[in-house]
Amino acid sequence: MADFLNDRLERIRASGTYRELPGTVTGVDFWSNDYLGFARLDNSKQPFAVARGATGSRLISGDRDEWNNLEKLAAEVHGFPAGLMYNSGYTALLGLLAALLTRTDTIIYDELSHACCRDGIRLGHAKSLRFRHNDLLHLRQRLSSVERTGQVFVLTEGRFSMDGDVAPLADIVALCEEFNAQLIVDEAHSGGLEGDNGEGLVAGLNLQDRVFASVITYGKAFGTHGAIVLGSEDLRAYLVNTSRPFIYTTAMAATQWVEIGLAYKKLGRHHSLQYERLRYNVRYFKEQFNGAILRNTVSANDGPIQTVMVPGNEAVMQVEAACRDANLLVKGIRSPTVPAGSERLRICLHAFNTSDEIEQLVAVLCENLPNFGRS
């Protein structure tokens, strides 16, 4: 699907600068950054590999066979050939886009794409074009207008972080195939949630063979920290060789790798029940607005991210404060994070919320929203 990566890798090999991860390496440590030995202070009689801290980048002293095996396991869970872990979702998208995009390439991205995507696009120096949120006709127009001097990429989220709605991935994939573009999907808010077992939207729609890259982050539904870029073996090798946020940073500590492994075990054991509880709570929340004059201010999506529109920075913070006074933690989203006039409360529902808690939240909203904006 993406032979251009193999061509780029061949040029790296020809230059004599090709990198490979070392896996577990034993011996007397003269290469890590563990200057005071604190990474293994409680394990001084144990082998080098059990250091708690990473001690260096994965290309030097921070790699282990166990970490490579966990990446393979994660790739299998999500249905991709390979994956590469990053310290966070932000650095994963930053590292992927900055490494992938060249000056001759073009990237077309949904206007509601996350800030880390926009930062990665800027670092990549490709020509960039926005398309209106989930607007397939506008995306088609953008794809039709691209001057083909390099690769063309399309970027979207699976489930969007601010509006909580879902991208029409199957239709976007079809457009990308029609125009020979490579699709990248940020699954920060759909990974661990969507699909039969939390594999994400791409896997849930069985689109892995038609998507160039998917980014799963572990700080949301997985309940831990870190991220993985999923794609082909060539993509993984290309990032190991060119992704500066991967190459030049200290690797994740052993505890973070362990937590990610445990998160996948939890996903296998508990996803079905917890997801059904979440779906019930989302339905229950929305049902509380039936018949209320405020029901049109609540988002129409069926996911855990629910928004209540409260235009104006001052107004949305007043309603946030009223919720805080009632011991209810919601977040007011102000411009310029969202466009002026579309300020909103961002409400995240969970499997563990109780019906009483949801009822209390709705009651506070119904009491305060009609008065928003008053001083």
- pLDDT tens figures, 169-194: 999 999 999 999 999 999 999 999 99
Residue 306: closest CA among 362, 370, 360: 362
Mean pLDDT of 87-114: 95
260 within a domain of the structure (yes/no): no
Q: Residues 280, 360: one domain?
A: yes
Domain residues for 279?
273-371
> For the chain, percent helix, then strand, then coil, each to nearest 5?
45, 15, 40
Write phi, then psi, for 214 (nearest 5 degrees).
-130, 140
Most confident of 25-29, 178-182, 341-345: 178-182
Give CA–CA dist 106/109, Å, rounded: 10
For residues 276-288, average pLDDT = 91
Write down the residue that tokens 């509601």 correspond to. 112
pLDDT above 70 covers what percent of the chain? 90
Q: How far apart are CA 260 and CA 73, in angstroms?
A: 11
Query: Span 74-82, mean pLDDT?
Result: 98
Of 222, 252, 282, the residue at which a domain comes to its end is 252
pLDDT on residue 237:
96
Q: Are residues 213 and 293 in the same domain?
A: no
218, 252, 286 - which closes a domain: 252
**Is the Cβ–Cβ distance between 152 and 131 less than 8 Å?**
no
pLDDT recorded at residue 375: 34
| pTM attached to this predicted model | 0.89
Q: Is the pLDDT of residue 47 over 60?
A: no
- In this structure, the number of other CB atoms found within 10 A of the CB of residue 172 comes to 22
Considering the domain architecture, whether residues 216 and 281 belong to the same structural domain is answered as no
pLDDT of residue 48: 41
Do 246 and 330 fall within a single domain?
Answer: no
Residue 147: band (very low, low, confident or very high) from pLDDT cuts 50, 70, 90: confident
Judge if 15 and 82 occupy the same domain.
yes
Residue 337: the pLDDT is 82
In the predicted model, what is the mean pLDDT of residues 49-62? 78
Please indicate, yes or no, whether residues 165 and 213 belong to a single structural domain of this protein. Answer: yes
223 plus 294 within the same structural domain: no
Question: 224 with 162, same domain?
Answer: yes
Q: Are residues 235 and 203 in the same domain?
A: yes
Report the share of the chain in percent with pLDDT over 90: 56
Note the pLDDT of residue 70: 96
d(CA 110, CA 167): 9
| Residue 144 covered by a domain | yes
Q: Domain with 71 in it: what CATH number?
A: 3.40.640.10
347 assigned to some structural domain: yes
Average pLDDT, the chain: 88
Rg (CA), the chain: 23
The answer to whether residue 347 scores a pLDDT higher than 80 is: yes
Averaged over 188-216, what is the pLDDT?
95
Q: Looking at 40-54, 57-71, 338-352, which range is the least confident one?
A: 40-54
Q: Report pLDDT for 121.
A: 92
Residue 47 belongs to some domain of the structure: no
Least confident of 20-24, 103-107, 166-170: 20-24
Tally of domains within the chain: 2
CATH number (domain holding residue 297): 3.90.1150.10
